[in-house]
Amino acid sequence: MTDERMPPPAAPGVVPAVEPASDDVAHPPTDSALPGVHRGGFRRELTQPLPIAPPLAVHPEPDPAVAPEVQWIRRPPALPKSAGWSLLFGTLGLVLACFVGWGFPIGLIGVVLAILALRRPWEKRETAVWGLGLSLASLAYSAGWLWWAASQGALFS
């Protein structure tokens, strides 16, 4: 009894023809890759994985007259930074307060900038804390100078 689904047996001495692989099939690598190393694959355009997010463009804005169809992703606006400024004003106020008492406004600006920097999550906290400490020290030295100058004069006697 013969099965109709089975191909007829080949004649003795005849080798069946085998077609070669098509060009769109990726051949396996000849050397073995280390664990975790990308082994290739997905060489065909329709079966390759899609990127999760488009890459950010870091190019300058294009001229619309040259390429009107190109639209780049705009850079996010720069966030305000005040920690470094508070450190600068604190240092400057402290140096100025060592010689005269009029470093008080500069120290006050440094304190305000340091408090603003401590409230912002993108600021460097260490820089803001140093700026606050130096600004408070400059306020203390300036207040000392102003108190000494007021006690030397005839304003309160």
Residue whose C-alpha is closest to residue 119's, from 153, 83, 85, 156: 83
Share the mean pLDDT of the chain: 77
Domain locations in the chain as residue ranges = 85-151
The residues near 16 (Cβ < 8 Å, ≥ 6 apart) are 10
For 114-155, how does the pLDDT look when each residue is reduced to its tens digit (9 = 90+)? Answer: 999 999 888 889 999 999 999 999 999 999 988 888 888 766
Taking each helix axis from N to C end, the angle separating 104-119 and 125-152, rounded to the nearest 10 degrees, works out to 160
pLDDT category at 107 given cuts 50, 70, 90 is: very high
- 20-41 average pLDDT score: 66
Instruction: Calculate what percentage of the chain has a pLDDT beyond 90.
Output: 31
pLDDT exceeds 60 at position 57: no
**pLDDT reported for residue 40:** 64
C-beta separation of 138 from 106 below 8 A: yes
Dist. CA 151–CA 145, nearest whole Å: 10
Residue whose tokens read 């450190």: 87
User: Which is higher by pLDDT, 58 or 143?
Assistant: 143
For 80-93, how does the pLDDT look when each residue is reduced to its tens digit (9 = 90+)? Answer: 889 999 999 999 99
pLDDT category at 23 given cuts 50, 70, 90 is: confident
C-beta separation of 128 from 83 below 8 A: yes
